Amino acid sequence: MDDQNTETRTYLGVPLTRPRVAFFELSSCEGCQLQIVNNESTLMDFLSLVNVVNFREAMTEMTDHYDIAFVEGSITRSDEIERLRSIRRNANVVVAFGSCACFGGVNQLKNRFKDPDWVRRQVYGNHPIDTNETARPLEDFVKIDLRIYGCPVKKEEVEKIITHIAVGRTTVQPKYPVCMECKANENICLFDVGEPCLGPITRGGCDSWCPNNRFGCWGCRGPANDANIGQMQTIMKEHGFSEETMLDRLECFGGFTTYAEELRKNFKAKE
Amino acid sequence: MKSTRTIDIHHITRVEGHGNIKITIQDGQLTEARWEVVETPRFFEAMLVGKKWENAPWISGRICGICSIGHTLASIRSVENAFGIVPSEQTRKLRLLLKHMETLQSHILHLYFLSAPDFLNIGSFFPLIESHPDVVQRAARIKQLANDLCDCVGGRRMHPTRTVVGGFTMLPEKKELVKFKIRLQEVSFDLRKTAELFRTFAIPDFARETEFVSLKGDGSYPFIGGDLVSTDGVTKKEHEYKLMTNEYLVEQSTSKWSRLSRESFAVGALARINNNFFFLHPAAREIGLSYGLRPICHNPYMNNIAQLMECVHVVAESMGLIDELLGMIWKEPRQVAIPRSGIGVGAVEVPRGILYHSYEFDGDGKIIQCDCVIPTSQNHANIQHDLRTLAAKCVSQGKPDREIELLAQMLVRSYDPCISCSVH
């Protein structure tokens, strides 16, 4: 899209410059990008706010001149490191877009195996395949300016954050857990209906998306501030859930890796 | 004088995932036409090993952002088949409704946002916002209906939350379904307008005889489970899927390839229609016939029209499903799952073709082995053979590079490939 009308657009009466926005994907399902297009009812407003200059999944035109780069996915192969570094050089603001970019996402589940060769052989046998031993988040390689959490990202949150960037406001991530939003939504507590849930320790901001659908939280947004993992373990245990269930959830998206590794050690020791 | 012309498209745009097209023409002769898949593998089949059954649909659904519902349903079916769970009629109808809406949103995304710009000679759908706002609004309206109904039944349009082994965590409100029926009626009209729009597009005239593989309809157009069939006359049971897919590895691709009776086969909307034309809703068949699409159609570009036909079919069938659901007394949303050792296979027709998930469990319901065969990985070899035939034809006709480049990209896009999915 071109830059015409840039000067005439305003937000709350303040003239707006439309930031040049680029979307990139590394190892991922490309779902977080798709959430942008999935935003049918507000897509037009969104497109009037920013100038999308790079979006390979939706457009053929491309350029290296952009202000904000949204990078989806984790790093799983060496060429992705170079791609990410060049994006970092081109962009003023680099946004880690979604749980894969922020924590490694489900891709990092392969990191738990001690033998990376086994992982390779499990899928490709003896066929040579270029891949890194572990899936890593973006921040392991470049400086990240902003994180948008979630698997997938929540469209309302993305729009809010992009609006903040466009009008030059700082973005404050929720410090409270999903559990608080769930209470505000007047949901029945999932523990009371026999479902495990990481809502008490997971960063909010998703409006308790999964628990609203009677599906317990798996921690895709990583830990809330001062998350009390020990107490979470106690709650899970009190409600009859195994350490394995706790571990499955803690390690699913990579946001709780340090706790998960600790728990895995105990768990393995007992096995 | 020697001359070498190359067409080198790095990371083809308006497709999901990363693939390259390389064509070399030397002294007026085609020497190379390659479809390369360079996507990074994520190793889903390894990461699920050792995990308990309830992880499978939740994690493996994340193979794909476009067809996460299809992956989730295939995964659930695989677990249920392994544990001997037979879903209730209520669950089957709700799952089919959810599946239909994923098909609709995915096909509309492809037709309007990824495919149409080629026919209109633009780089993306974005210029249409200014030039043809009515077209963009119509596309958005259809897609939004489909996605909203996915939210209503599956909890979320992407990586659904309510879909679990045994059924659903909770059910939609019946009064919501009533409202959706009205919106589906409105969208039927939008689909007629879509057909009019696509009738103005020149679908490239190209055909290469190949084999088409899909689920085999049994009284109705197939979507979830059933026998497997090919246009070359092969039929297999769902659990025999490996005899249908025959995966192998090649140097030019990080995705596996497949073959059956010939060097390649195709899956997807065109394959489903070629195998199940007479199970389609009459209005869908009529659209096909107006484009001259009748089985067996060997023009891969017609997959666009096949998708359009399926949009009409799923919207019509969804209205019927809602009526049936409203007429039923609803029971508990979910059956209890009791793990047992064994192997389960789930075959589901997702937007891009037939998808298989297969898990082997131990007695505690832990995954010992996992295998996922993705529609696009089954299509890669067929894309390669089409690309070569197309490029050779273009060269012999003396077409300029720009035209070859466009036709080659349109060919790949016709398959609506989901490349990151195919590598997973």
Note whether B259 contacts A: Cβ–Cβ < 8 A: no
Chain A and chain B share a number of CB contacts under 8 A equal to 159
Average pLDDT, chain A: 91
Q: What is the pLDDT of residue A56?
A: 87
A14 and A143 fall within a common domain: yes
Task: Sort strands A146-148 and A93-97 into parallel, antiparallel or unpaired.
Answer: parallel
pLDDT digits (tens, 9 = 90+) for A162-200: 888 877 788 888 999 999 999 999 999 999 999 999 999
Assign residue B185 the CATH number of its domain. Answer: 1.10.645.10
Distance (Å) from the alpha carbon of B45 to chain A's nearest alpha carbon: 7
Higher-confidence position of B257 and A11: B257
Mean pLDDT of B192-210: 97
User: Would you say residue B5 lies in a domain?
Assistant: no
Domain boundary among A143, A166, A189: A166
A34 and A157 fall within a common domain: yes
The Cα–Cα gap between A264 and A98 comes to 25
Percentage of chain A with pLDDT > 70? 93
Closest CA to B66 of B422, B353, B418: B418
pLDDT digits (tens, 9 = 90+) for B261-276: 999 999 999 999 999 9
Name the residue in chain B with its Cα closest to that of A25.
Answer: B17
pLDDT band for position A8 (cuts 50, 70, 90): low
Number of H helices, E strands in chain A: 10, 7
pLDDT digits (tens, 9 = 90+) for B316-347: 999 999 999 999 999 999 999 999 999 999 99
Note whether B127 contacts A: Cβ–Cβ < 8 A: yes
Q: What is the pLDDT of residue A165?
A: 83
pLDDT band for position A112 (cuts 50, 70, 90): very high
User: Would you say residue B404 lies in a domain?
Assistant: yes
Interchain proximity B249–A125, CB inside 8 Å: yes
Q: What is the pLDDT of residue B221?
A: 98
Number of domains in chain A: 2
Number of domains in chain B: 1
Interchain proximity A47–B129, CB inside 8 Å: yes
Structure token pair of residue B240: 């025999």
Q: What is the pLDDT of residue A47?
A: 81
Interchain proximity B52–A248, CB inside 8 Å: yes
User: Would you say residue B100 lies in a domain?
Assistant: yes
Note whether B62 contacts A: Cβ–Cβ < 8 A: yes
Domain that holds residue B359: 44-423
Task: Sort strands A14-15 and B367-373 into parallel, antiparallel or unpaired.
Answer: unpaired
Domain boundary among A110, A132, A166: A166
Q: What is the pLDDT of residue A42?
A: 80
Q: What is the pLDDT of residue B96?
A: 98
Q: What is the pLDDT of residue A271?
A: 55
User: Would you say residue B13 lies in a domain?
Assistant: no
Q: What is the pLDDT of residue A1?
A: 43
Q: What is the pLDDT of residue B325?
A: 98
User: Would you say residue A99 lies in a domain?
Assistant: yes
Q: What is the pLDDT of residue B286?
A: 97
Mean pLDDT of B146-174: 98
Q: What is the pLDDT of residue A11?
A: 63
User: Would you say residue B272 lies in a domain?
Assistant: yes
For residue B139, pLDDT over 50 is answered with: yes
Q: Which residues of A touch B127 (CB under 8 A)?
A: 1
A193 and A100 fall within a common domain: no
A140 and A186 fall within a common domain: no
Q: What is the pLDDT of residue A5?
A: 44
Mean pLDDT of B401-410: 97
Mean pLDDT of A212-224: 98
Q: How far is CA A78 from CA A75, A106, A131, B20, B239, in A?
A: 8, 19, 7, 18, 38
Mean pLDDT of A211-226: 97
Q: Give, as one character, the DSSP assignment of residue B111.
A: I
For residue A14, pLDDT over 50 is answered with: yes
A195 and A155 fall within a common domain: no
Distance (Å) from the alpha carbon of A110 to chain B's nearest alpha carbon: 5
Q: Which residues of A touch B113 (CB under 8 A)?
A: 37, 58
Q: Which of A40, A110, A209 is nearest residue B46 as measured by Cβ atoms?
A: A110
Assign residue A128 the CATH number of its domain. Answer: 3.40.50.700
Mean pLDDT of B214-236: 98
For residue B93, pLDDT over 80 is answered with: yes
The Cα–Cα gap between A261 and A245 comes to 14
A155 and A196 fall within a common domain: no
Name the residue in chain A with its Cα closest to that of B110.
Answer: A58
Q: What is the pLDDT of residue A2?
A: 45
Distance (Å) from the alpha carbon of B279 to chain A's nearest alpha carbon: 30
B404: helix, strand or coil = helix
* Cα first-last separation, chain B: 46
Domain that holds residue A238: 178-270
A147 and A205 fall within a common domain: no
pLDDT digits (tens, 9 = 90+) for A41-89: 787 788 888 899 999 888 888 899 999 999 999 999 999 999 999 999 9
Task: Sort strands B211-215 and B29-37 into parallel, antiparallel or unpaired.
Answer: unpaired
Average pLDDT, chain B: 97
Strands (E), chain A: 10-11, 14-15, 20-25, 51-55, 68-72, 93-97, 146-148
pLDDT band for position A129 (cuts 50, 70, 90): very high
Note whether B111 contacts A: Cβ–Cβ < 8 A: no
pLDDT band for position B189 (cuts 50, 70, 90): very high
Interchain proximity A30–B147, CB inside 8 Å: no
- The amino acid that residue A84 corresponds to is L
User: Would you say residue B229 lies in a domain?
Assistant: yes
Q: Which residues of B touch A109 (CB under 8 A)?
A: 47, 59
Mean pLDDT of A98-116: 97
State the sign of the Cα–Cα–Cα–Cα dihedral B217, B220, B224, B226.
negative
